[in-house]
Structure 1
Amino acid sequence: MISKQVTIALFLLAFSPSTFPADTLQIYQNITDGQTLVTPNSIFELGFFSPGSSSNRFLGIWYAFSPDTVVWVANRDSPLNNTSGTLILNKSGSLKLYDASGRIVWSPRTTSSDGINSPILQLNESGNLVLKDQTSDRIIWQSFDYPTNTMLTGMTIGKNLRTGFETYLSSWKSRDDPSEGDYTFKLDPQGAPELVVRDRSQIKSRSGMWNGLYFSWAPQTSTYTSLFNIRFVWNQDEVSYGIEMKSASTISRLVMNETGITQRFIWDQRNQKWNSIYFQTIDECSSFAECGPFGICQRDGIRACSCHKGFEPVAPDEWSIKYTSGGCKRTIPLGCSTDSDGFYKLEGVEIPYSHDAIADASISIEECRKRCLMNCSCVAYTLLDIRGEGSGCVMWNTALIDMRYVIGGQDLYLKVAKSELGISNKKKRATIGVISSSLILLLLVSLFVYLLWRKKMRYSKQDIEKRHLAQSNSLKGADLPVFNLCTILQATDNFSITNKLGEGGFGIVYKGQLLCGQEIAVKRLSMDSLQGLNEFMNEVLLITKLQHRNLVRLLGCCIDNNERMLIYEYMTNKSLDFYIFDPTRRASLNWTARLEIVIGIARGLLYLHQDSRFNVIHRDLKAANVLLDEQMNPKISDFGTARLFKREQGIINTETVIGTRGYMSPEYVLEGAISVKSDVYSFGVLILEIISGKKNQGNQNLLAYAWKLWEEGNSFKLLDEAVKCSVSETELRRYVQMALLCVQESPDDRPSMSAFFTMLSSDTLLQDPKKPLVGTRIRGFPSDWSLYQQSYEHDSTTGDQLTITGIEGR
């Protein structure tokens, strides 16, 4: 039976004005099924909807331009079973959702409504539904304080430390059911704050502690600083986290889905779709505390868990069958004194779970070390804030849980017995003196022997092989799984010609299958290739530090006498050039597929250039070095000629100019100068090749052709005939324009990869590109760049090698 109060409210509604602002609900106005509130910018809309295949009705907020993308639900745990729902705002400021029988289905939890003169409900342009006093502008309630599974720009999650009020995300039960699911996404304020995803009460995953720039397990967020600013507050009143977009035209959201996976999206206005810019990865190290107390995980595809220095498995038999949750124990107990204990530096690790850690922003790292050393309970310490020279202190007095090695990780100082460090306190000075003297003597003797040898002897092929073997054997100490030769021979059917995938200057690549069923690609170094050995050494040094979904994953290596091999994950669909340069296969790549490949390559480059302290210039980005998995996702491969650099370095000058004709930037070919902008140039060439299906080489200079069409306004002629039916001329011209911006003559004029992503995700007006170097005269060099290129023509399978000297990982 309908209550008297509801009857009066409905009576007043019948005679109340029916017109009101599109984003506002005033006293005794209502919203029924089919009516909506819409923000002035037409971004957000409030109304009734049915999720997925469900027939239940819910009051919620969605994007007006993407109605299926619901960002907030009011009655998520109390669905309406028909279209009779009515939302009413009464004079006292109470907001209520009624069903057909007059039952209150939902009403927000508000603070005191005393003193409200003129209540109003308004849907703000940020997507925040606000109930406030129109006279005083005092907020009574807002949806941003009670989010569901989506975090919008301007929203924060965290905790008020004075009142205890907490804002967090909670998952839907399923795509058809928005009721509260099993997963929550909260900012844990204890210890050093970090974001934590829980499955009910059990931790599923976490972000790592806030280190002053980003959450330590999510360094990819720092890659997108050109798109948004991170807002992190940590004081005596609150701990909170949110983002603010730098451009009002960029629309972004963070979502936790029904399986507890978090993912950030940006709206692609041109293609009218959501693009994922980063997401929580799932691998062998994803499970919380996978390796138990004092265990550490490494994503290498073969083994995951290991013990720190000074520790051993609690249950070795269980570890042998990968039951590692028991963790590790100390091999030698701590003595609890400065004479008996010291610290072992773990480099490049994701910081352990910090809920029970002690954080102090006021002390230095040296003071942190002293406190930890004097505290018998302290087991490890690290920096709290990594900005600048670093500051603050985090100490752990309990077992270290949930650690892993990662590119861009922090240094952690683990307390162990000094005997584990190999140097006792009493003998330290004597040992240092002996070592120093020995080293000096050894260097002098080595120099004398080298000069004598250099004067009297020349390299023979046998000498070279011995040197190569010595270098190869040094890799056995690298932290990389080593396969035995028998395993590889069995996997590849003794390197059968039927398993051959390709061949280059380094040697041959074979397909193989391990006994466990895993398919692999084996890169077998040619014994006659001096450069190939350098590539091998460089690739191992680099790729073991790199983990990204758009980079090919190295599984291990094989070193046996003169055999040197790298073992990679197998890519089902071979390389990009297998498709785009083939008259028949290119038709299988439509416009959407080609754009996804461009975006994937860009993500990989962005990671290499910016995602960690180990920043990498690839130096040989080309279609043949982009491999495709079973879903046609691109993965950058072949890091044999790559170079490490420091972010502040800018340009590196090198005598080694190694690459592939048509992809090398002018400053690299002419001056030996490389930078991240050299990769950007190669990427621009690759975009034009993907668009056109034509290779940039010899007399067929693709850059000159693309520039000519651009100037004439005929860029559509550049498009591969196989995809002309699926792309608009406006969209194509924009991508050609972005490619031409990447291949401009001056490195300073080319965009960074983060700037390129901004172009991809926004609809802003692009600057006009400058003419590429093709056809432009440079002092001291031929006036026709295409002729200059032709003088270095080379077999495309081996790449150009203008000057060959040693390659080293730096």
Structure 2
Amino acid sequence: MVILLNRRCFLVLILLTSFSCFSVRFCFGQDRITLSTPVKDSETLLCSNGMFRFGFFTPLNSTTRLRYVGIWYDKVQVQTVVWVANKDTPINDTSGLVSISEDGNLMVTDGRSRLIWSTNITVPVATNDTSVQLMDNGNLRLQDHSKILWESFKHPYNSFLPVMTIGTNNKTGENLKLTSWRSYTDPSTGNYTAGISLSTFPQLLIWKSNVPVWRSGPWNGQIFIGLPDSISLLFLDGFNVSNANQGTFLISYATDSFMHHFNLDPDGALYMRSWNTSTRAWTVDAIIPSTTCDAYNRCGPFASCGLQEVPPCKCVKGYVPRNSTEWNRGIFTNECVRRVPLKCNVSTGGGGKGDRFFKMQKMKLPANVEKSVANEKDCPKVCLDNCSCTAYAYDRGIGCMLWSGSLVDMQSLLGSGIDLYIRVSHSEFKTHSKRTVMVTASVLGIVFVAAVCVLLACRKFKRRPAPEENRSAELLFQRMEDLTSGNESASNQVKLKDLPLFEFEVLATSTDNFSLINKLGQGGFGPVYKGILPNGQEVAVKRLSRASGQGLEELLNEVVVISKLQHRNLVKLLGCCIEGEERLLVYEYMSKKSLDAYLFDPMKQNILDWKTRFNIMEGICRGLLYLHRDSRLKIIHRDLKASNILLDDDLNPKISDFGLARVFRANEDEANTTRVVGTYGYMSPEYAMEGFFSEKSDVFSLGVIFLEIISGKKNSHKEDNNLNLLAYAWKLWNDGEAASLADPTVFDECFEKEFTKCIQIGLLCVQEVASDRPNVSTMIWMLTTENTNLPEPKQPAFIATRRVFEAESSGQSSQKVSINDVSLTAVTGR
């Protein structure tokens, strides 16, 4: 009898559990709504890849309990809503319901069955095949028999996601714009919109209550003229643009990584954000507008705004401020007025032969442009022949552009922009010529007197030392020759003085004055920026941080080391810059950035399949073998880690950051230092504890990288029993479960033996005693041979710090690692 009752209770429990799972969607993780399965306020849809969630929400930090229906990121800790349905009609309680109506529309109703929001389209009567699905890209789609009836991507709100399209399409009548929230806690319709305007030429605009507050300048087929170089590159590299020149202009992301989005904030700024897995927060990659000069018509008609100007507003050539006193005080309410009238003969249509053009370089072109069919040669004549024409410009991607009347929203840019020709009276140049003659005569007189004084001074005083930058350059080459002497014959020496020395101004311009938007990352040496040289070559510019504790010595060390090296798995140094206190290195640009950006980002891990990861491990080994054995110099890197492995377009690895590298003499195998520098977790025990470093200390670091590549986890990552990666790998090895260390995103049973072998090689590299570790040539043989009869690894060295941080090469270079800060912990696998 008791057994029978227990069975009945068990059956009742199963039925209750099944009913609960059927009604609560979290049990199944369903991604769709059907006629029979609506979504209540307590339920949500989750797309199949777990990226986005759909349901009811209350805005973060809201003081009300109003409920909205929307889509948000599910895998981030900060509430990030990307679409809202009932933005202007919230529900006051938790009685809301999302369902498919009998007429086939998606609708939101409250507890009294009142209609709150609907897709409101004319569709056939709903069938059993009518459903609403939350797609992996964040698109909410209403469909019937696989036919798309409605989708949220065609009705964007404040966010622009990858795969989504914004723009205008005259064929479909679509004009897809972004609209801001009213405030950060109120999703109702805000004051700002952002989208594409097709007046004459396609332009990006942000409006406030339909009044422009920012514009990008016209599209020339590649970029928007008027955007800074750093933001223009986003459209060259990061977006697909469709321009049919017939009223259709569409923009979409070129990436399929969904942890990126544009967001039009309530303050009217357009932010491009990407998720940073390290800081677990959104990183701002770009802001539009980004400066005060970006504001629409900041300085009024016939004035240009320049960040390098004080004050920033300045009348263009031929114009003066109506009230110069207010301008000098920084008040820009008065327009600029023409100083001398134009000579255009309106009565006879003579074309104003007396007028000329003043050239303004690197300009954001004025608003209200008109198009002309004239070619580049005839463009200025067309403007002169039109008495109302006040300026012209020519771009090969657009053609001849003309302006009539006032010139508004002009800006002087640093690295981008094109030439703008302002129409002025011929007398402006005459006045200028007279002044030029007078100034030239004065300058010549001063130069003559100065030359006489210099000659007299040279007789009296000894020759003064060279400027700091010249001494630094001389020291650079002397240091290079000193470090390389004795390691190779004179006939084989590289002509080190052929290494290009860049001017600081060129590098500053190429990186848009080291803009945060161009920042690629932060290394031990300092920040690294993407730049474009005047010849169009993309480069990575590493700038010494004055707070890094490193100086000329570390820069010279890196230049000496890397300038002597040529290998496909080593990053190439293109030149350097030493001017005053500035220390910069210029490298080839690696488009895929660093290895850690893929390994430890859940959204990018699948880009590195097992074959790619294996090739990366082999490539790092070959680069390190070249450093240790095959190059003219024997070099110990001393700071090998995943962030110092860069990837090219084909995901081939290249070792970088040689600021801490040491050059060994031909007969040296080991060295000792009292200044231990590097990154905790990658340093070998003999180096961290005693300051001894050799080839085997690099091998230890390489072993850590191997285990990180295989597992997709950092060495600092803690597993069960609070074990770090090395300890956890050792435990699994002893348990006979080594293959379970492999990253689930790449694991395949057909590669299980290869996984196990690579883990074994990694464990051999991180053994505590340096002499037990293989050299790099042996590692390459182990990797490439099919022989699985490899030595059994001994217990690794488990190094941990009491403080959880990475001692980057820059930040710790001036400090000696204390034994109290580092401990060896023996962990025995069971």
TM over 0.5: yes
Give the alignment partner of residue 529 of structure 2, picking from 602, 605, 627.
605
CA distance in 2, matches of 1:334, 1:73: 55
SS at match of 2:377: helix
For residues 441-472 of structure 1, the C-alpha deviation after alignment (integer angstroms, 9 at most, x for no partner) is x9xxx9xxx9xxxxx9996686978999xxxx
- AA at the equivalent of 2:68: F
- AA at the equivalent of 2:700: E
**Corresponding residue of 1:251:** 259
- AA at the equivalent of 2:170: L
**Corresponding residue of 1:372:** 383
For residues 329-357 of structure 1, the C-alpha deviation after alignment (integer angstroms, 9 at most, x for no partner) is 2222222325212222211112222xx21
For residues 680-721 of structure 1, the C-alpha deviation after alignment (integer angstroms, 9 at most, x for no partner) is 38999998799999966797697996975452246779xxxx
CA distance in 1, matches of 2:423, 2:638: 50
CA distance in 1, matches of 2:371, 2:382: 12
Give the alignment partner of residue 89 of structure 1, picking from 86, 100, 105.
100
Q: Is the 8 A contact 1:157 1:167 kept in 2?
A: yes
**Corresponding residue of 1:453:** none
Matches within 5 A, 1:409-420: 409-420=417-428
Q: Is the 8 A contact 1:212 1:385 kept in 2?
A: no
CA distance in 1, matches of 2:353, 2:164: 51
Give the alignment partner of residue 241 of structure 2, picking from 228, 231, 234.
231
Q: Is the 8 A contact 2:716 2:725 kept in 1?
A: no
CA distance in 1, matches of 2:523, 2:391: 43
Q: Is the 8 A contact 2:270 2:289 kept in 1?
A: no
**Corresponding residue of 2:354:** 340
For residues 175-198 of structure 1, the C-alpha deviation after alignment (integer angstroms, 9 at most, x for no partner) is 221111121112122132211112
User: Residue 669 of structure 1: CA displacement?
Assistant: 6.8
Distance 1:166 1:715, change over 3 A: same
CA distance in 1, matches of 2:116, 2:342: 61
Distance 1:372 1:662, change over 3 A: same
Give the alignment partner of residue 220 of structure 1, picking from 216, 221, 230.
230
- AA at the equivalent of 2:544: K
- AA at the equivalent of 2:360: L
Distance 1:598 1:421, change over 3 A: farther
2:661 is the alignment partner of 1:661: no
For residues 474-526 of structure 1, the C-alpha deviation after alignment (integer angstroms, 9 at most, x for no partner) is xxxxxxxxxxxxxxxxxxxxxxxxxxxx99979xxxxxxxxxxxxxxxxxxxx
Distance 1:329 1:38, change over 3 A: same
For residues 36-59 of structure 1, the C-alpha deviation after alignment (integer angstroms, 9 at most, x for no partner) is 222222222211111112322111
Give the alignment partner of residue 206 of structure 2, picking from 197, 205, 217.
197
Give the alignment partner of residue 123 of structure 2, picking from 102, 106, 113.
113
Q: Is the 8 A contact 2:388 2:405 kept in 1?
A: yes
2:700 is the alignment partner of 1:712: yes
Give the alignment partner of residue 167 of structure 1, picking from 172, 176, 179.
176
**Corresponding residue of 2:408:** 401
SS at match of 2:557: coil
Q: Give the TM-score normalised by structure 2.
A: 0.56
Give the alignment partner of residue 268 of structure 2, picking from 260, 282, 290.
260
Count of paired positions: 551
**Corresponding residue of 2:187:** 178
Matches within 5 A, 1:47-126: 47-54=55-62, 55-66=65-76, 68-110=79-121, 112-114=122-124, 118-126=129-137
SS at match of 2:326: helix
Larger Rg: 2
Give the alignment partner of residue 339 of structure 2, picking from 323, 331, 335.
331
CA distance in 1, matches of 2:242, 2:461: 61
SS at match of 2:274: strand
Matches within 5 A, 1:277-676: 277-280=285-288, 282-300=290-308, 302-336=310-344, 337=351, 339-353=353-367, 356-359=368-371, 363-386=374-397, 391-406=398-413, 407-422=415-430, 547-548=512-513, 550=515, 597-598=522-523, 602=527, 605-606=529-530, 608-609=531-532, 621-624=543-546, 660-664=555-559, 666=561, 668=563, 674-675=574-575
CA distance in 1, matches of 2:335, 2:250: 33
For residues 365-384 of structure 1, the C-alpha deviation after alignment (integer angstroms, 9 at most, x for no partner) is 33433322222222222234
SS at match of 2:250: strand
**Corresponding residue of 1:30:** 38
Q: Is the 8 A contact 2:97 2:109 kept in 1?
A: yes
Distance 1:107 1:462, change over 3 A: farther
CA distance in 2, matches of 1:615, 1:358: 33
- AA at the equivalent of 2:404: N
Distance 1:158 1:48, change over 3 A: same
For residues 162-187 of structure 1, the C-alpha deviation after alignment (integer angstroms, 9 at most, x for no partner) is 66542111111222211111211121
Distance 1:178 1:546, change over 3 A: same
Q: Is the 8 A contact 2:45 2:55 kept in 1?
A: yes
CA distance in 2, matches of 1:615, 1:726: 36
Out of 96-105 and 391-400, give the one that drifted further: 391-400
Distance 1:101 1:670, change over 3 A: closer
- AA at the equivalent of 1:167: L
**Corresponding residue of 1:632:** none
CA distance in 1, matches of 2:424, 2:241: 37
SS at match of 2:187: strand
SS at match of 2:131: strand
CA distance in 1, matches of 2:29, 2:718: 39
SS at match of 1:106: strand
User: Residue 242 of structure 1: CA displacement?
Assistant: 2.4
CA distance in 2, matches of 1:238, 1:417: 40
Distance 1:599 1:318, change over 3 A: farther
Q: Tell me: higher relative CO, structure 1 or 2? Use CA pairs within 8 A at least 6 residues apart.
A: 1
User: Residue 414 of structure 1: CA displacement?
Assistant: 1.8
- AA at the equivalent of 1:679: V
SS at match of 1:132: strand
CA distance in 2, matches of 1:338, 1:465: 58
For residues 242-301 of structure 1, the C-alpha deviation after alignment (integer angstroms, 9 at most, x for no partner) is 2221xx346311111121111112233565443222223543423321211110111127
User: Residue 359 of structure 1: CA displacement?
Assistant: 3.1
Q: Is the 8 A contact 2:321 2:336 kept in 1?
A: yes
Distance 1:293 1:158, change over 3 A: same
Matches within 5 A, 1:714-729: 727-728=716-717
SS at match of 1:87: strand
- AA at the equivalent of 2:699: E
CA distance in 2, matches of 1:172, 1:42: 26
SS at match of 1:77: coil
Distance 1:616 1:347, change over 3 A: farther
Instruction: Say what the alpha-carbon RMSD is for the aligned residues.
Output: 5.4
CA distance in 1, matches of 2:74, 2:694: 38
- AA at the equivalent of 1:396: W
Distance 1:267 1:180, change over 3 A: same
- AA at the equivalent of 1:142: E
**Corresponding residue of 1:529:** none
Give the alignment partner of residue 679 of structure 1, picking from 566, 574, 586.
586
